[in-house]
Amino acid sequence: MSETAYNEDHIRSLDWKEHIRMRPGMYIGKLGDGSTPDDGIYILLKEVLDNSIDEFVMGAGKTIEIAIRDQSVTVRDYGRGIPLGKVVDVVSRMNTGGKYDSRAFKKSVGLNGVGTKAVNALSNYFKVESVRDGLSAVAEFEQGNLTSNLEPSESTKRRGTSVTFVPDSSIFKNFKYRNEYVARMLKNYVYLNPGLTILFNGEKYFSENGLKDLLEDNTNADDILYPIIHLIGEDIEVALTHSKTQYSEEYHSFVNGQNTTQGGTHLAAFRESLVKTIREFYNKNYEPADVRKSVVAAIAIKVIEPVFESQTKTKLGSTDMGGDLPTVRTYINDFVKTQLDNYLHKNPEAAEKIQRKILQAEHERKELSGIRKLAKDRAKKASLHNKKLRDCRIHFDNLKSDRRLESTLFITEGDSASGSITKSRDVNTQAVFSLRGKPLNSYGMSKKIVYENEEFNLLQAALNIEETIEDLRYNNIVIATDADVDGMHIRLLLITFFLQFFPELIKEGHLYILQTPLFRVRNKKETIYCYSEEERQAAIKKLSPKPEITRFKGLGEISPDEFKHFIDEDIRLDPVMLDRDTTIESMLAFYMGKNTPTRQDFIIDNLKVELDEIKPESTIESLLG
């Protein structure tokens, strides 16, 4: 075997923007098209917005305005404004920023001087304007290259900073901002910064009660076991309650205003201190799982110069609060022990409800213990012999991989569909779980059925969520079923399963529906894939006369070579989202309960297809699709 040449010609030095554009995942996580909340286009927005939030935290500027029009984003704050002589440097010179000076930014998120540089480098167009002391300075860039740098001039505008950027469409292909994801991000910002007003496309976001508002907005009032406990201290805030119906724990955690979706040292300390305080209050050595079952809580802390485990700042690694303060663990333990214990003594009714909930969890755990052991043994054997799961190499919990956010499990129906996806998937990040037949309608059933039903048991084992969704193995769970009546029914049954037993997977944005083309329209020169009847008609018109038309009824009918496009760069995912104004119980009762005249009337009233609009060439399958 010949030796590969290696000399001085192989050594390259990249400038800041070349490195960011070559390795964007190091700076913003996965790329994506905006269909998932952790896609890069939202990280770009967050990086710019974090600077404006830091201005508010430092007491400068109570309003932030955000406008998203098509693919252009503008963020305007009324803070102190970037020092005019450094406007270009702070958005284009690595390791440059005011946050290295703790006198100016004591407890900010952006400490590495990277955020806006990454946005600049990954944008087709980037403009920054700073207004202060009656002067304005403006600079414009294209893909990180400076194209315009105006000298400071007199201005009558209010002080502050404005940033406009358009993400690079060659990097973020077919991207689109989803208002739902942007709104969720902005709500978290105002919960964490009471008194801050954010205007998004004219809609106002504001919070008076911080994390208490967060839990109220994310939990239906009828499902709260007792009034939300709201505890506030120096550099720490906690809100918590128990859900009446939810099985698992649900946490919202934050550090210096950053939503740490992967938790970290602060969340681990909170979960530990919660158990310790409850045990001491009741003088009972309760199991931690019983204490925390059905807990819905939020915790936010402020740390001097926090250390995160990645540039996207989703997990706190710091063990110290900074300065002369104790460790994160000690600080949170002392706060929860004092404040929660005081609350429970002053509110005996809430304390009694918590104890009843713990005892109920203890009873259910003991009742399920034997079943769980048998179920785990069955899952191990089934995984070995039936090969229902074709696993991938990278998982969500693999913090060492810059592609872990891409980890995906496709849930398919039957061997034919799973075969097509298995042959065309990316084996590094995409796994496949094959269902056998239709799942059970799990509405109204207890958790016991999850372990006794083979399909449900194997599915939860594949996802690694038997104990807690913190161990979730894949960031994206994608239901991939045929575009026919049976496929739609299976999709509905799976969503019911997740809503009934693991609603936090949906609340936290992990569940999606895979959209695959319904038609292929082609001639000798061009092939067009169509996702609707309207697209099919347009394709026929474009490729006239009389192109070949194929209707894909099942995923197995699409060849692996073709399928690769639909789960790779051109993947289309529709997120499954919950309407907070509707309870899960009422929704499942209506759609999945016993057939009622009310639901029948709803179906009839919502049929929009008129017979005289049906084209002669239309089929029942195309109408259902």
Q: Which is higher by pLDDT, 241 or 4?
A: 241
CA distances from 360 to 91, 182, 241, 355 (A): 55, 38, 16, 9
pLDDT band at residue 6 under the 50/70/90 scheme? very low
User: Which helix H or strand E contains 433, and what residues bound it?
Assistant: strand 430-435
Percent residues over pLDDT 90 in the chain: 39
pLDDT for residue 4: 56
- The position carrying tokens 């895979």 is 514
Q: Is the pLDDT at 370 greater than 80, yes or no?
A: no
What is the C-alpha separation between 227 and 55, in angstroms, rounded?
Answer: 33
List own/partner pairs for 108-114 with CB under 8 A and 24 or more apart. Answer: 108/50, 108/54, 108/57, 108/256, 109/50, 109/53, 109/54, 109/255, 109/256, 109/257, 109/258, 109/306, 109/313, 110/47, 110/50, 110/51, 110/54, 111/305, 111/306, 112/311, 114/27, 114/311
**Strands of the sheet with 197-200, listed across from one edge:** 145-154, 135-142, 123-132, 160-167, 72-77, 63-69, 197-200, 203-205
pTM metric for this prediction: 0.79
pLDDT band at residue 213 under the 50/70/90 scheme? very high
Provide the phi-psi class of 113: left if phi over 0, else alpha when psi is between -120 and 50, else beta: left
How large is the average pLDDT for residues 349-367? 92
Residues 72-109: tens digit of each pLDDT: 999 999 999 999 988 898 888 765 444 444 444 455 55
How large is the average pLDDT for residues 508-522? 90
How many helices (H) and strands (E) in the chain? 21, 22
Question: What are the residues whose beta carbons fall under 8 Å from the beta carbon of 445, sequence distance 6 or more?
Answer: 500
pLDDT for residue 609: 42
What is the C-alpha separation between 451 and 375, in angstroms, rounded?
Answer: 6
What is the C-alpha separation between 255 and 240, in angstroms, rounded?
Answer: 17
By the 10 Å C-beta count (0-12 exposed, 13-18 middle, 19+ buried), 562 is classed as middle
Question: What are the residues whose beta carbons fall under 8 Å from the beta carbon of 187, sequence distance 6 or more?
Answer: 205, 207, 214, 217
pLDDT for residue 29: 79
Residue-wise DSSP of 236-289: EEEEEEEBSS--S-EEEEEETTEE-TT-BHHHHHHHHHHHHHHHHHHT----HH
What is the C-alpha separation between 358 and 364, in angstroms, rounded?
Answer: 10
Highest mean pLDDT among 254-258, 357-361, 372-376: 357-361
Residues 171-203: tens digit of each pLDDT: 998 899 999 999 999 999 999 999 999 999 989
What is the C-alpha separation between 322 and 266, in angstroms, rounded?
Answer: 13
What is the C-alpha separation between 478 and 510, in angstroms, rounded?
Answer: 8
Half-sphere exposure of 305 (CA within 13 A, CB side): 14
CA distances from 18 to 13, 23, 117, 170, 311 (A): 9, 8, 11, 14, 17
Q: Is the pLDDT at 384 greater than 70, yes or no?
A: no
Q: Which is higher by pLDDT, 55 or 593?
A: 55
Q: Is the pLDDT at 382 greater than 80, yes or no?
A: no
Query: How many other C-beta atoms are found inside a 10 Å radius of the C-beta of residue 343?
Result: 17
pLDDT for residue 69: 92
Greatest Cα-to-Cα distance within the chain, rounded to the nearest angstrom: 81
pLDDT band at residue 3 under the 50/70/90 scheme? low
Percent residues over pLDDT 70 in the chain: 87
How large is the average pLDDT for residues 548-552? 89
pLDDT band at residue 7 under the 50/70/90 scheme? low
Highest mean pLDDT among 77-81, 109-113, 314-318: 77-81
Question: Hey, what are 492's tokens?
Answer: 């509905």
Half-sphere exposure of 462 (CA within 13 A, CB side): 28
pLDDT for residue 77: 95
Q: What is the 3-state secondary structure (H, E, C) of 408-421?
A: EEEEEEHHHHHHHH
pLDDT band at residue 128 under the 50/70/90 scheme? very high
Whether the upstream peptide bond of residue 545 has omega within 30° of 0, thus cis, is yes
pLDDT for residue 107: 57
pLDDT for residue 12: 52
Cross-strand bridge partners of residue 432: 390, 410
> What are the chain's domains?
17-205 (3.30.565.10), 211-365 (3.30.230.10), 386-516+552-593 (3.40.50.670)
- Cβ 276 vs Cβ 282: under 8 Å: no
What letter represents residue 376's amino acid? Answer: K
pLDDT for residue 351: 95
Q: Which of 73, 79, 26 is nearest to 51 (CA)?
A: 79
Question: What are the residues whose beta carbons fall under 8 Å from the beta carbon of 252, sequence distance 6 or more?
Answer: 188, 211, 214, 215, 218, 259, 297, 298, 299
pLDDT for residue 495: 92
Strands 63-69 and 197-200, by their bridges, are parallel
Triad 191, 192, 197: Cα angle to 5°? 65
Residues 255-294: tens digit of each pLDDT: 988 888 888 889 999 999 999 999 999 999 999 999 999 9
pLDDT for residue 49: 93
Triad 24, 27, 33: Cα angle to 5°? 55
Q: Is the pLDDT at 556 greater than 80, yes or no?
A: no
pLDDT for residue 513: 92
Residues 436-482: tens digit of each pLDDT: 888 888 888 888 888 888 888 889 889 988 777 878 899 999 999 88
pLDDT for residue 1: 46
What is the C-alpha separation between 531 and 518, in angstroms, rounded?
Answer: 5
Listed range (2-6, 56-60, 74-78, 544-548) with the worst mean pLDDT: 2-6
Query: Mean pLDDT in the chain?
Result: 84
What is the C-alpha separation between 623 and 217, in angstroms, rounded?
Answer: 37
What is the C-alpha separation between 29 and 156, in angstroms, rounded?
Answer: 39
Q: Is the pLDDT at 623 greater than 50, yes or no?
A: no
What is the C-alpha separation between 169 and 37, in angstroms, rounded?
Answer: 18
Listed range (61-70, 498-507, 527-536, 554-563) with the worst mean pLDDT: 554-563
Q: Is the pLDDT at 500 greater than 60, yes or no?
A: yes
Question: Hey, what are 353's tokens?
Answer: 């409800």
**What letter does residue 613 receive in the DSSP assignment?**
G
Grouping H, G, I as helix, E, B as strand and the rest as coil, residue 72 is strand
CA distances from 549 to 3, 148, 287, 544, 572 (A): 52, 50, 61, 11, 21
Q: Which of 302, 212, 292, 240 is nearest to 266 (CA)?
A: 302
Question: Hey, what are 606's tokens?
Answer: 């919502």
